[in-house]
Structure 1
Amino acid sequence: MKQVYSMQQSSHTPELFRFQINFSEDQLTDLKYRLQHTQWPDDPDNQDWKYGVNGRYLKTLVNYWITSYNWREVEQQMNQFSHYKVTIQDTPIHFIYQKSPHSTAIPILLTHGWPWSFWDMHKLIAPLTNPEIYGGNSEDAFDVIVPSVPGYGFSTPAPAGINFWKTADLWHILMQKILGYTHYAASGGDWGALITSQLGHKYADSLYGIHLMHTMELDQFNTEKPWDVMASHKTAENTPSQIRKQALNRMKVFVSHYAVHILDPQTIAYGLQDSPVGLLAWLLERWRSWAQTENGNIETAFSKEHMITNAMLYYMTGTVVSSMRFYADSAHYPWQPSHTHRPLIQAPTGITFLGGENPSGVTTQQRVEAFKKGPKAALYNLHYINPHERGGHFGYYENPAAVIEDIRVMFRTLR
């Protein structure tokens, strides 16, 4: 890495380095060898994926990885953006920092989750920094910061014990002390939603507002069974059978990875870090289950290239285990409130709901009203909510136009 400059705010300010993504040929050669010498298990009676990832489809995807996928082309696309690295409190942080040409731009921090990467957000960068070229107005411009969560991708090696609320502290230091912004906006999904919610709770005075793709309780790991993601989800006995079945099926898709990542992340990591195909299968199960697909066809939500790129960002950086330990350490180090004010999250909050994640029995048109009647609405200083029919759990990639629209509208009156 080549140092380009260090900030001059104080003698204790960490040095900021310009960073270029570049895996070595030796790394790529070793990866190809492992892919070509995979020991495949049998997979009988699994055409409908009822036992997990379908072997026939996985082999098709791996064959594409070996014969058609071009990392160097993707690498070149990534390096068109401005990448930096900085170490904050012994935690290496990688981030894209793309400034707008407009002097009125405000900074916005976009944070991903698991099994995401910073690259899931790349479709938003140009429209947010140069809105007038993409159907917006120059008054809606943003300086865009897209970090890799600690222990993910190029934010490595992660220190032991890092979790979502500790990451929020790092993000605040990044935005104020490293980049020099007194106020900023933030948006996030999955882990990013928890990190962003913590920013809106602890650092509300420094935020224009926050935008969320998911509404998640900050204390959700503070239970006697933190590995049971559905412990608080009850299905009433008088629920119509069809809706009850949908609710139970939806619960199932979040249970296994959550429990394993909290209880045994190190154990499973030995296999996943050793086998790129094993890792791909573990990620693929979540992508297919959580995205909004047509008849279960994952490629209606993600291209083959994008799926392999995300698998590469976990495998080649050696961050399989640290990304999974993020769950365990959110349970090992419980969240504690920073104040007793109500609502708990004081920053003005906007929420984007996507139809692929509608609760069972709730349509997209009913989504906002159903949320306002539920218990979570009281957690937020609600400023804006908007539902969209298209998209699932990975909204920044699946429906970037909806996210861009909502971010623009949300912050237009908060600048």
Structure 2
Amino acid sequence: MRVSWAKLLALSCLYEVSQGNPVQSKDGYQLQPFHIDLSSRVPRMLDQIKRTELPAHPVYVSTGTSAGISLSLLESFRTEWLTSFNWTREQKDMNKFNHYTAVIEGLKIHFIHEKSKAQDAIPLLLVHGWPGSFLEFVPIINELTEEAITATGKKVSFNVVVASLPGFAFSSVPPVDWTVADTARVFNTLMTKVLHYDTYATFGTDWGAGIAYSMYDQFNSTVRALSLDFLPFYPYTSDQLAAENITLAPLEEFEQAVAEEWTNSGEGYFIEQTTKANTIGLALYDNPVGQLAWIGEKFVNWSDPNAGKSPSVLTHNEILRGVSLYYLTESFASSVIIYQQNPNGFATVYTKANNDAPLLFSAFKYNVGFWPPAVVAKTGNLVFYSSE
């Protein structure tokens, strides 16, 4: 996941209507502060990591990175996990933010709520996907709450809310047949009924894009700006683009090639989790190294080849703390259910949202999906598009 700070500043210029009063709810949602403390589970995790045997090189057939994570990279991750990774340090860092839980429709929803000092700060809900978590947004939360100046000279800052999807991290496992539209409804309740924001903006990536888009469509009086780097619609093939006379610039041609390569060789996990979520969920439930191989490969292969080098924050440590969060919260199996529950979560037929509020979109060079401006415009009121 990547969020364009410049794009969010642009969002601030387009945001409409009052933001309401960010008071805490007293309406029966059991809103309460939350403190992360998973330290008691760490010894078992480390023991599991130590006891996991990886295949010896002489008997391991390497077919290159195209077949998934390499043995040498997995060994490197495992060594770092055991020698330099420090959950106590990571947990302390997470607890620097204001965490809360609220009970909505019977589900405990975990979220971070960091408010700007500015009285007119824009409420902004950030929604993650899989294999992400609230940790995806931690590097930018403080920056978003601080006052900045837009290109037009307007002062802007955000009241940031980062919610954990049902079944992820500290949020409750959802019931059977729970869809992204259900999560959209619950998150709208979080923003309007629990936190009492009259209107707000939202950003989503991966499954979070589907949730944020559903909020934009369902709740057009409260969601007054939407920012995405992914769409809940399958990207066009090159043949489809040609059929609609959509031509691409050189960077866009590269992005289209990356997306089509993912469709050809990187979609296996998607099919597995959509059709046999319980199998992979239970197989890796109590296997931290297995979760690392399954999740770590995605982070490595879906990111910029320069990830981990300045100014990127996607270091091995960042990946390890993300996987550790999955294992320590025992949420891997429940997280993959979102695929099985939403087999049509990424639609093939494009529809336009019932909302005239601004839609902003960022296309990133190494994203596994690519949507040019003409395609994004089919889904909402596109007013800003960036390609990075």
Aligned residue for 1:40, secondary structure, equals coil
List runs of 5+ in structure 2 lacking aligned partners.
1-22, 244-252
Distance 2:345 2:206 in 1: 19
Aligned partner of 2:362 among 352, 357, 362: 352
Does 1:7 find its partner at 2:16? no
Distance 1:246 1:106 in 2: 35
Report the counterpart of residue 46 of structure 2 in structure 1.
32
> What is the total number of aligned residue pairs between the two structures?
349
Name the CA shift for 1:96/1:248 in 2 (closer, same or farther; >3 Å): closer
Name the CA shift for 1:54/1:134 in 2 (closer, same or farther; >3 Å): farther
Name the CA shift for 1:178/1:52 in 2 (closer, same or farther; >3 Å): same
Distance 2:258 2:204 in 1: 27
Distance 1:144 1:66 in 2: 34
Distance 1:128 1:324 in 2: 30
Does 1:89 find its partner at 2:105? yes
Name the CA shift for 1:333/1:377 in 2 (closer, same or farther; >3 Å): closer
Distance 1:46 1:272 in 2: 22
Aligned 8 A contact 2:353 2:380 in 1: yes
Name the CA shift for 1:6/1:173 in 2 (closer, same or farther; >3 Å): same
Distance 1:273 1:31 in 2: 12
Name the CA shift for 1:333/1:307 in 2 (closer, same or farther; >3 Å): closer
CA-to-partner distance for each residue in 1:320-378, whole Å, 9 max, x for gaps?
Answer: 1111000110128999x9xxx95545432111122223879xxxxxxxxx82334x422
Aligned partner of 2:178 among 135, 154, 162: 162
Compute the displacement of 1:82 (Å).
0.2
Aligned 8 A contact 2:373 2:385 in 1: no
Report the counterpart of residue 387 of structure 2 in structure 1.
387
Compute the displacement of 1:270 (Å).
1.7
Partner amino acid, structure 2, of 1:60? S
| Segment drifting more, 204-213 vs 157-166 | 157-166
Aligned residue for 1:204, secondary structure, equals coil
List runs of 5+ in structure 1 lacking aligned partners.
221-229, 361-369, 389-415
Partner amino acid, structure 2, of 1:93? I
CA-to-partner distance for each residue in 1:28-76, whole Å, 9 max, x for gaps?
Answer: 1111110000032356342622332111110111111011100111111
Does 1:194 find its partner at 2:210? yes
What does 1:309-324 align with in structure 2 at a 5 Å threshold? 309-324=321-336
Compute the displacement of 1:138 (Å).
7.8
TM-score normalised by L of structure 1: 0.76
Partner amino acid, structure 2, of 1:304? H
Does 1:373 find its partner at 2:383? no
Aligned 8 A contact 1:92 1:158 in 2: no
Does 1:21 find its partner at 2:36? yes
Report the counterpart of residue 292 of structure 1 in structure 2.
304
Aligned 8 A contact 1:213 1:351 in 2: yes
TM-score normalised by L of structure 2: 0.81
Distance 1:253 1:299 in 2: 24
Distance 2:123 2:92 in 1: 25
What does 1:13-412 align with in structure 2 at a 5 Å threshold? 13-25=28-40, 27-41=41-55, 44-46=60-62, 48-132=64-148, 139-217=155-233, 233=237, 248-294=260-306, 299-300=308-309, 302-331=314-343, 343-357=353-367, 371-374=372-375, 376-388=376-388
Aligned residue for 1:46, secondary structure, equals coil
Point out which structure has higher relative CO (alpha carbons under 8 A, 6+ apart): 2
Name the CA shift for 1:186/1:78 in 2 (closer, same or farther; >3 Å): same
CA-to-partner distance for each residue in 1:197-241, whole Å, 9 max, x for gaps?
Answer: 111111111122111111222xx6xxxxxxxxx8x74658x99xx
- Quick one: percent identity of the two aligned structures? 26
Distance 1:205 1:259 in 2: 36
Distance 1:279 1:186 in 2: 30
Aligned residue for 1:69, secondary structure, equals coil
Aligned 8 A contact 1:156 1:319 in 2: no
Distance 2:147 2:265 in 1: 37
Name the CA shift for 1:136/1:107 in 2 (closer, same or farther; >3 Å): farther
Distance 2:82 2:239 in 1: 45
Compute the displacement of 1:128 (Å).
1.2
Distance 1:195 1:47 in 2: 37
Aligned 8 A contact 1:352 1:385 in 2: yes
CA-to-partner distance for each residue in 1:106-156, whole Å, 9 max, x for gaps?
Answer: 210001111111011012211111134999978211100001111111113
Partner amino acid, structure 2, of 1:24? S
Aligned 8 A contact 2:180 2:345 in 1: no
Aligned 8 A contact 1:32 1:66 in 2: yes
Distance 2:206 2:383 in 1: 20
